[in-house]
Amino acid sequence: MKVIVTDKIADKGVELLEAAGYDVNKAWDIPKDELPKIIGEYDAIVIRSATKVKGDLLEAAKNLKVVGRAGIGLDNVDLAKCKERNIVVRNTPNATTDTVAELALAYMFALARPIVKATTTMRKGEWAKKQLKGTELLGKTLGIVGCGRIGSALARKAHAIGMKIVGCDVVEIHEACVDQCEMVDVFTQADYISLHLPLLPDTKHLIGKETIAQMKDGVCIINCARGGTLDEGAVYDAIKSGKIRGVALDVWEKEPIELDVSKKLLELEEVIGSPHIGAQTKEGQERAGIQVAEAVIEELKKL
């Protein structure tokens, strides 16, 4: 059987696929718009977030039996069409849980203590000590919107440093350190709000003008989940008005950043950001590569 890997994964993952006897094409350097021309001969595809298994690619994948996603989100896979064609879709929900949670926590520290501004001013030769007064996370309330694996991992870490945790989710929350609330209560109580949601029709622009109005003055917002769950224009306006004190974004409405509003956000001193690096650690990527390879092998062996 033939497996194509269209987004680079850890070497150990590729080695596992090859050791299992599969013909593996390490095709991550092939332009994505060229993939429909060759996908038809493959039984399985291994992806991360860059490859979209939908549209022309999925239509051309006549022999496809398994999709392996090295990561959590599946918004780049047409799940309905895969189900219709009996294509098995597997992801790695546990591989980068703590990886992403740690980035969210790091962003909370960076919003509480102006580390980025301190570094920037020192590089300019300035000693701006008096301008760099921060706040403590100890005793503050963290609101988690989406208490799944990553949200729960963040809750445990934040609880360990003395924060109060309130959260909301569509299912019952089992984390002992999280007080389960309605979403509006999370917004009204939290000093810091961290999003851990997929991008769905009912979560698009969940953080917008109306929900921001419910929040405390001086709130900080962190999004290491999916771009589009936060209305960047509304957030920009709320920062300019003083309603929001700080924002940390690892994900954006359009990636790579193209929209003027995203660029405008990055012009604000109150905003810090990164180019969707939530899962980008050596350890997390190795786990993801190994786990996705194991999942693909497991499914192909059933055929």
Catalytic residues: 226, 255, 276
Beta-carbon contacts of 186 under 8 Å, excluding residues fewer than 6 positions away, are: 143, 144, 145, 166, 167, 168, 193
Question: What distance in Å separates the CA atoms of residue 280 and residue 71, rounded to the nearest whole number?
Answer: 11
Unique residue bearing structure tokens 């399985």: 44
Give burial (CB, 10 Å; 0-12/13-18/19+) of 172: exposed
Question: What distance in Å separates the CA atoms of residue 67 and residue 9, rounded to the nearest whole number?
Answer: 14
Residue type, 75: D
Unique residue bearing structure tokens 């917008």: 208
Q: Measuring CA to CA, which residue among 195, 175, 174 is closest to residue 183? A: 195
